[in-house]
Structure 1
Amino acid sequence: MNSPSKIIVGSAEWLTLPSLNVPAIKARVDSGAKTSSLHAFNIQSFKRNGETWVHFDVHPIQKNRKTTVRCEAKVTDRRIIKSSNGEREKRYVIRTTMELAGENQSIDITLSNRDNMGYRMLLGREAMQGRMLVDPSEELCHGDRSPEQITALYGNPEPKLEGLNIGLLASNPDLYSNQRIIEAGEQRGHHMHFLNIKHCYLKMDAEHPEVLSRGGKSLNNMDAVIPRIRPSVTFYGCALTRHFESLGKFALNTSDSISQSRDKLFSMQLMLKKGLDIPTSGFANSPMDTHDLIEMVGGAPLIVKLLEGTQGRGVVLAETKKAAESVINAFKSLNANLLVQEFVKEAQGKDLRCFVIDGKVVAAIERTAAAGEFRANIHQGGTASIVKITREERTLAVKAAKCFGLQVAGVDIIRSRKGPLLLEVNSSPGLEGIETATGKDIAGLMIQAIEKRLGWKPTAPNT
C-alpha cells in the first residue's frame, strides 16, 4: 500500500539546488535511470583541506547558454555511467541538497555535459526512492515557472571575460555559425572579436610584422584565430591566416589545411594517396576525351561537378550518356574545370555529415535530399536527422580530417555497396544543421579545442 507521505511527481518538475545557488532548474523525472545527473561544463578538480572538490559551470535553463551559474562541491565518488545512447563515461559524483514541493533532501548527482539532452537535469530513482511516486501522464505537478519568473531569479548577467583573445576570421557576422561561435567563446569567459576578412590587411616587415583591421588597429594581441573563410575569398583569407600563424598565433585550422581542402581535385588525389576510399572519379582537359571520361566512371547515370562549385551548386546528375556528353562539353566550352564521378544509386539521395573536432567525431547527422533532388543538401531544402555511424565510418571521418591537418572539419560520406566513401572534407562546416539536429554545443567544443591547445583553464576558486 502506498504511503500517504510520498509526494506525486510528473514526468518533469521544477526544483531548486540551494547548495549550488541554482534557484530553479527543470528536471526530467526518470525512474529508469539509477542516478540523477546535472548539466555541467568547465569541470575542474582541486584540493581543499586534503579532500577533492570540483568547481563547474551550469546552464540551468534549457536552450539558454547565456545564463551561467558557477558552482563548487565536494566530490563523493567517481562512477562509470552508461548514457541513453550507449556511451560509457566516468563522471564525478557530488552530494547536494534538492528542494522539491517544499521539501529538502540530500541526493547524489553525477556531473555531465547534457547540452544534447532535452533537460538540464535528470532526476533518477535513487533520489525518488521512498519519497516520491511518479505519474508519467502528468507534468509539472508542483507548478511551472514563467520566463518572467526565471528572469527575476537569474537576471541577465553578462559573462565575466577573463580569458583569451580569440578572433573569428569570417565575412558575415549575422550567420548562425558565426554568432554561435562568438556566443560560445564569451560564455566561456573569452574576449571574442569578429574580424571581417575584407576589412583586415597585413604588414610584412622584418622588425614589426602586423595584421591590422580597417582604421589601423593592430590585431597582434590575438591569442588564437578561427578561420571561417568562404570559397570566394579563399586566397586572401588564407593569406591573413598564414600571417597570424607567422606571428605565433594559433589557428584552429591552418592556412595550408584550408587551401588543400578547398582544391577539390588536389583533395581527392591526397585522399587516394592516404588510402581513403572515394567514389570513382575522372578528370580530363579536352572535350575529345569526353567518351573515355564517361566510361571510366561506369557510364551514365553519373555526376558532373564543377571544381569551383560550393554548397551543392555546380553539381549535375546526368542520367543518360547523351546528357552527360552535353553537360561536360557545355562546361568545357566555358573553360570550366570539372570532375566526373560515379553515381552511387544505393545512397538514395542521402549522405552523412560527420563533424570532427581535435581528432574525434563529436556529432553526426544524416542528410536527405529534398523532393526531386538527387543530392543531400540542407542549403537546398534537404533535411537532417541524428544518425548512429559505424566504427568504419567514424574511422574514415577522423582519417579524412587528419589527412588535411584540419582541427575542425565537416566530413561528408555516402554509404555504398563497397562500404563508406568520402565525398568531401569541409574546412568551414556550418553549425546550424548539426546543432539543431543533435542539440549539441558544437561551437563550445570548438572553443574547448583552442583552450586545450593553449593550455587555458578557468580561474580556480581560492582554496
Structure 2
Amino acid sequence: MTIEKNLCGAEEWCKFPQLAIPAIKARVDSGAKTSAIHALNIQPFQRDGVSWVRFDVCPLQDNRKTLVNCEAPIFDRRSVKSSSGSSEKRYVIKTSIAIGDQSWDVELTLANRDAMGYRMLLGREAMSGKLIVDPDQSFALGNYSQEQLSELYVPRKSPKKGMKIGVLASNPNLYSNRRIIEAGEERGHEMVFLNIKHCYMKMDAGNPEVHYRGGKVLNDLNAVIPRIRPSMTFYGCALTRQFESMGVFCLNTAEAITQSRDKLHSLQLLFESKIDIPITGFANSPLETDDLIDMVGGAPLIIKLLEGTQGRGVVLAETKKAAESVINAFKSLKADILVQEFIKEANGKDIRCFVVDGKVVASIQREAEPGEFRANIHQGGTASLISPTADEKKIAIKAAKSMGLQVAGVDIIRSAKGPLLLEVNSSPGLEGIEGATGKDVAGLMIQAIEKKLKWKTDASE
C-alpha cells in the first residue's frame, strides 16, 4: 500500500498540541538527522517515579517576550553534534507534531537555537514517510500573518510595576547587553541602555549627579549593571563609583571591577585567599629573564600582557630562546608582563564557571581550535556543556568573593595537580554560555538585583 506524502517547502509552520505551542516556524532540513526545538531554562525533575523535563520555548524569532512554559517526559538523553562541530548531551522528548492536515509523533532534542535563523529544525527522521521537500517552496502547507500570530500568542501579563535598571556599556547591539535588557523587560522592569561615552558627571558633595547626552539627569535609577569593556575601564569605573555615591545599587562595584581587571593584583588576591593558580612570575626588568623563566618551570611557558583580554596579548613560548625573545621584546616596549607555567595536560581546554550572587549558575567547557593552545570562543574556539566538580565550583565561588564580584566569569584549568584558577572576568559574555547550557543567565542576573533590593514579582508575592 502506498502512503501519500505531503509536499512541503524548505520552511513550514508546525504545531505541538501537547506542548501548547500553536505555531513555530521550522527549517525543514533533510540533511539533518534529528529535530530540535529552541528551549531555555531546561530543568529535569521526577513525577511519580518518571523522569520529566521542564523548559521554556520562545517560539517566535527575535521575540523573547512571547514564551511558552512546557513539560514533557524525558524520552532519551544523547550526544548531538551542533552546527559548530562540537558534541553535547541533549535531552530528547517525544511529542505530537502537526503540519498542515497531518499529525504524528516525533523525537525532539532540546537546545538553545537563539543564534540560529529558526527556532525549530525539522530533520529527516521526523519527515520519513510523511513529507517530501521541495526546497524551492516556502510554507506550502500554510502560512500565518502577523495578525494571526498575535491572536495565537496573547502577551503575558507583566508585573504591575518594576524597577528602572540601567545597563552601563558601550555597544547596545552586543548579544550580552541585548539579553540583559530583554531579561529585565520580561520581568516587568524598565531597562535603559547607558552608553558610557554619553555619560558625564557633576561632582558635588551634597548632590552628586550623572548626566546623559542632551542634559538628562540620571537620578531615577534603582540599579545599574556595569558591562565595561577593557578600553573603558577607567572612565566606566568612575561612572560606576559615581552611581554608588548617589545610592544606586551597582551589580558589580567599581572597586571589584578595577581589581579584577588588574591581572597582577587579582592573582595576588587569589593566592591570599588560598586559591591555587598556575605558577606565575612578574618582573619589571629584563635583566633577570633567565631566572624568571626558571621560576615557572622553564619552557614551554605562557607570557601575558597585563592589559590583555579575551586571549589577546597571550603568547605560548615553546622554547627558552623564544621566551627570552618575547619577554625582551615586551620589556623594550615598557609593557608589564606575567609569565606563567604551561599546563600541557589541559589540551587547550578550560572551564568557564558563571557565578551570580555567590552561586555557580552555569558552566561550559571551552576548547581551542586545532593548533591553538588556549580555549577562546572569541577567536573560533567551541563551547560545550559540562558539569564542574564540587572543588571547581568551590574555587569559582571563592574567587568571585575574593574580588568582591556579584557577577563573574571564572576560568579554571584542569591540571595533574588539580584544578587551577586562570582568571576572573567582571563582564563575562552570555552568548557562549547561554547557547551551550540553554539557561537564562541574564534572567538570573536580574533576579540577583531583585533579591538585593527586596523587589518582588507578582508571582512571588
Name the SS for the 1:311 alignment partner.
coil
Which residue is equivalent to 1:321? 320
CA contact under 8 A between 1:384 and 1:433: conserved in structure 2? yes
Q: Is the 8 A contact 1:163 1:189 kept in 2?
A: yes
Look up the equivalent residue of 2:301 and give its one-letter code. L
Q: Which residue of 1 aligns with 2:230?
A: 231
- Offset at residue 151 of structure 1 (A): 1.3
8 Å Cα contact 1:277-1:420 kept in structure 2: yes
Report the counterpart of residue 269 of structure 2 in structure 1.
Answer: 270
TM-score w.r.t. length of structure 2: 0.73
Structure 1 CA distance, aligned partners of 2:222 and 2:74?
A: 37
Counterparts in 2 of 1:288 and 1:460: CA distance versus 1, 3 Å:
closer
Shift of 1:373: 1.0
Q: Where in structure 2 are the equivalents of 1:349-368 lying within 5 Å?
A: 349-368=348-367
List aligned pairs for 1:149-164, cutoff 5 A: 151-155=149-153, 157=155, 160=158, 162-164=161-163
TM-score, length-normalised on structure 1?
0.73
Match of 1:303 in 2: 302
Matched position secondary structure for 1:323: helix
Corresponding position of 1:216: 215
Q: Where does 1:81-96 land on structure 2 (aligned, <5 Å)?
A: none
Q: What residue number does 2:247 align with?
A: 248
Q: Distance in 2 between matches of 1:357 and 1:205?
A: 33
Q: Whole-Å Cα distance in 2 between the matches of residues 350 and 394 of structure 1? A: 17
SS of match in other structure, 1:283: strand
Is residue 38–residue 58 contact of structure 2 (8 Å, CA) maintained in 1?
no
Q: Distance in 2 between matches of 1:146 and 1:302?
A: 59
1:372 offset after TM fit, Å? Answer: 1.7
Q: Secondary structure of the residue that 2:173 maps to in structure 1?
A: coil
Quote the sequence identity (%): 65
**Distance between the aligned counterparts of 1:300 and 1:460, measured in 2?**
58
Equivalent pair of 1:16/1:23 in contact (CA under 8 Å): no
User: How many angstroms apart in 2 are the aligned matches of 1:253 and 1:163?
Assistant: 21
Alignment equivalent of 2:16, drawn from 14, 17, 32:
14
Distance verdict in 2 for CA 1:140–1:225, change over 3 Å: farther
* Structure 1 contact 67–154 (Cα < 8 Å) conserved: no
The Cα offsets for residues 23-78 of structure 1, whole Å up to 9 and x where unpaired, read as 679999x9x973766547xxxxxxxxxxxxxxxxx86769852114799xxxxxxx
Do the aligned residues in 2 keep the contact of 1:377 with 1:383 (CA within 8 Å)? yes
Tell me what 2:283 maps to.
284
| Cα distance, 1:457–1:59 mapped onto 2, change above 3 Å | farther
Deviations 1:418-449 (A, max 9, x none): 10000000000001111111111111111111
Indicate if the aligned counterparts of 2:38 and 2:111 stay in contact, CA closer than 8 A. Answer: no
| Cα displacement string for residues 239-292 of structure 1 (whole angstroms, at most 9, x for unaligned residues) | 110111111111000111101100000000110000000000001111111000
Superposition deviation, residue 216 in structure 1? 1.2
Q: In the alignment, is the contact (CA less than 8 A) between 1:13 and 1:27 conserved in 2?
A: no
Number of equivalences = 379
In 1: Cα distance, 2:111 partner to 2:15 partner: 13
- The one-letter code sitting in structure 1 at the alignment partner of 2:194 is L
Cα distance in 2 between the residues matched to 1:389 and 1:460: 32
Q: In terms of mean alpha carbon deviation, does 412-421 or 200-209 score higher?
A: 200-209
SS in 1 for 2:364: strand
Question: What secondary structure does 1:423 align onto?
Answer: strand
Matched position secondary structure for 2:17? strand
CA distance in 1, matches of 2:342, 2:230: 25
Q: Distance in 2 between matches of 1:314 and 1:430?
A: 19
What code does the residue aligned with 1:250 have?
F
Shift in alpha-carbon separation, 1:334–1:118, aligned structure 2, 3 A: closer
- The AA in structure 2 aligned to 1:389 is P
- Are the aligned partners of 2:166 and 2:191 in contact in 1 as well (CA < 8 Å)? yes
- Could you give the per-residue CA deviations for residues 398-422 of structure 1, whole angstroms, max 9, x where no partner exists? 1111111111000000000010000
On the 8 A contact 1:229/1:237 being kept in 2, the answer is: yes
In 1, the alpha carbon distance for the partners of 2:163 and 2:386 equals 35
The superposition leaves residues 58-100 of structure 1 with CA deviations (integer Å, 9 ceiling, x where unpaired) of: 86769852114799xxxxxxxxx99999xxxxxxxxxxxxx99
Instruction: Quote the Cα distance in structure 1 between the aligned partners of 2:344 and 2:278.
Output: 12
Report the Cα distance in structure 2 between the residues aligned to 1:154 and 1:319, rounded to whole angstroms.
Answer: 61
Partner of 2:333 in structure 1? 334
Distance in 1 of aligned mates of 2:331 and 2:408 = 31
Does the alignment pair 1:181 with 2:183?
no
For the 8 Å contact 1:413–1:423, the answer to whether it is kept is yes
**Does structure 2 conserve the Cα–Cα contact (< 8 Å) formed by 1:159 and 1:189?**
no
**One-letter amino acid of the counterpart of residue 198, structure 2:** H
